[in-house]
A and B are shown apart, each in its own frame.
Chain A
Amino acid sequence: MKRIVALTLNGRATEDAIAGNTLLIDYLRDTHGLTGAKKGCDGGECGACTVLVDGRPRLSCITLAASCEGTKVETIEGQAKAGRLSALQRAFHENLGTQCGFCTPGMILSATSLLRTNPDPDTDEIKTALGGNLCRCTGYVKIIQSVKAAAKAGENP
């Protein structure tokens, strides 16, 4: 049975008929073509599907789209503003925080949420916040350096 679900997606109001068993990741990728959120483990273990719901990180592969009614959903596609990458996106690019890139959208969104509440995190705080995001290229050192560089840039994430 479908229901109408209204939410704000990357700053724009949307309204779609969604079945109760539709996962947020399928809604984003299939209904809206936002393929930035990745299906990695597809079971909530790897964090590649992380998006922001009301500013907080959420694993979209184990979240029902209908439970996001009335929320603000942000994906990696909404991070660049007016053609300019966000500070975290630039920092990942400049500090080689991205290798194969599969975990990057999830990493950046988890880090975005962190920097919004804690603009100057230390290494342990970054490791804790990204504890649920796995990088199979094992590029963790560069990822942590990238988050630090973005924090140093001091822009509002």
Chain B
Amino acid sequence: MSEALPDFKLIRPTSLDEALNALTAQPNTRLCAGGTDLIVNMRRGLETPDVLVDLGAISDLKTITMDDKGLRIGAGVTLRDLAGHAGIAGAFSAITQAANAIAGPNHREVATLGGNLCLDTRCQYYNQSHWWRKSNDFCLKYRGDICHVAPNGNRCRAAFSGDLAPALIVFGAKVEIAGPDGVRSCDLADLYREDGADHLTLTKDEIVIAVQIPPTDAASAYDKIRVRGAVDFPLAGVAVACRTDASGARHFALAVTGTNSMPLRVDMPDPLGKDDDPDSYFKALEKLVQKAVSPQRTSTIAPHYRRLSASALSARLARALI
């Protein structure tokens, strides 16, 4: 790789207001949290900001609060701190498992929740050096006019690869977003759209500041398919939450990452009743996931394999929660 970082002006605000002002003061300004993905992309010439706003010095974004109103995690909380939080591990195990599954331990020291939620989408035709992409006439996501993954389509198919989003979506998480007009809140699932070249619904002047989750008694789990046991992005990642109601019926929530350009919430079959046959239930669940996900040739691993793995993993995780 070995490409030098392009020239940019670095700003390190210590408050959110300063950061919001810096974000709109000049065009072509980018936010940077841990930088474990952005700096790599900048070195590959995929991002060329004139101004980089480093959010690492804003301590207000680094708090976790957990009380009877639920859980609130600041966007600047590092994945290491998130994975090491005993309260979250006890009540929201999918979040801990997802945080621990991201990249390698040395990335997790600085990589943040906000960074993982706003992670750029990934594709084997995009995450390459400049000369590689140039010799391939670039692609729809960056400077080119064709998607090499789906040449007949009209949108970029790059895969969203953040591990935390599905683990938060299954708990009905909301995301707090600060902008010039104040703070707004929306469902985390609505932060995304199915377009690999423009997958975030954030506007240019907004910053994700926190995630909120209502209290829950659901059991949950996250796991991902990848080639190596560390460092790799997910070929498919699945989060499942299971809540048992007063009648003993089990309500599942399930979300998948790595297979589409956005984290995908999969509609589940009716709850699994106390007297229902779990085998046929999980078979149906597996079929639903298989139908819902849409892995493309964004990695060197065959899409069909990723589809089958995602659905098999879904059924395995869900079954383990009953």
Measuring CB to CB, which residues of chain A are less than 8 angstroms from any residue of chain B?
Answer: 1, 3, 19-23, 39, 41-45, 47, 50, 56-59, 62-64, 66-67, 69, 110, 128-133
Q: How far is the CA of A106 from the CA of B9 in the complex (A)?
A: 30
Given A47-B106, A62-B36, A110-B105, list of 8 further CB < 8 A pairs?
A21-B7, A21-B8, A43-B40, A43-B44, A44-B107, A56-B109, A132-B105, A132-B106
Please tell me if the beta carbons of B40 and A67 are within 8 angstroms of each other in the complex: no
B110 within 8 A of A: yes
B231 within 8 A of A: yes
Please tell me if the beta carbons of A110 and B10 are within 8 angstroms of each other in the complex: no
Query: How many A-B contacts at CB < 8 Å in the complex?
Result: 80
Q: How far is the CA of A62 from the CA of B4 in the complex (A)?
A: 11
Q: B residues within 8 A CB of A47?
A: 104, 106
Q: How far is the CA of A63 from the CA of B107 in the complex (A)?
A: 10
Please tell me if the beta carbons of A64 and B10 are within 8 angstroms of each other in the complex: yes
Nearest 7 pairs between A and B by C-beta?
A132-B104, A20-B10, A131-B230, A21-B5, A132-B106, A57-B106, A62-B39
Contact code string B1-42 (vs A, CB < 8 Å = 1, else 0): 110111111101000000000000000000000011001100
Contact code string B24-66 (vs A, CB < 8 Å = 1, else 0): 0000000000011001100110000000101010000000000
Q: A residues within 8 A CB of B7?
A: 19, 21
CB distance from A39 to the nearest CB of B (A): 7
Q: How far is the CA of A67 from the CA of B104 in the complex (A)?
A: 20
Q: A residues within 8 A CB of B52?
A: 20
Please tell me if the beta carbons of A67 and B109 are within 8 angstroms of each other in the complex: no
Please tell me if the beta carbons of B39 and A64 are within 8 angstroms of each other in the complex: yes
Q: How far is the CA of A58 from the CA of B105 in the complex (A)?
A: 9
Q: B residues within 8 A CB of A128?
A: 105
Contact code string B195-239 (vs A, CB < 8 Å = 1, else 0): 000000000000000000000000000000000011100000000
Q: How far is the CA of A130 from the CA of B230 in the complex (A)?
A: 10
Q: B residues within 8 A CB of A59?
A: 36, 106-107
Query: Which partner residue on chain A sits nearest B3 by CB separation?
Result: A42
Query: Which partner residue on chain A sits nearest B109 by CB separation?
Result: A56
B103 within 8 A of A: yes
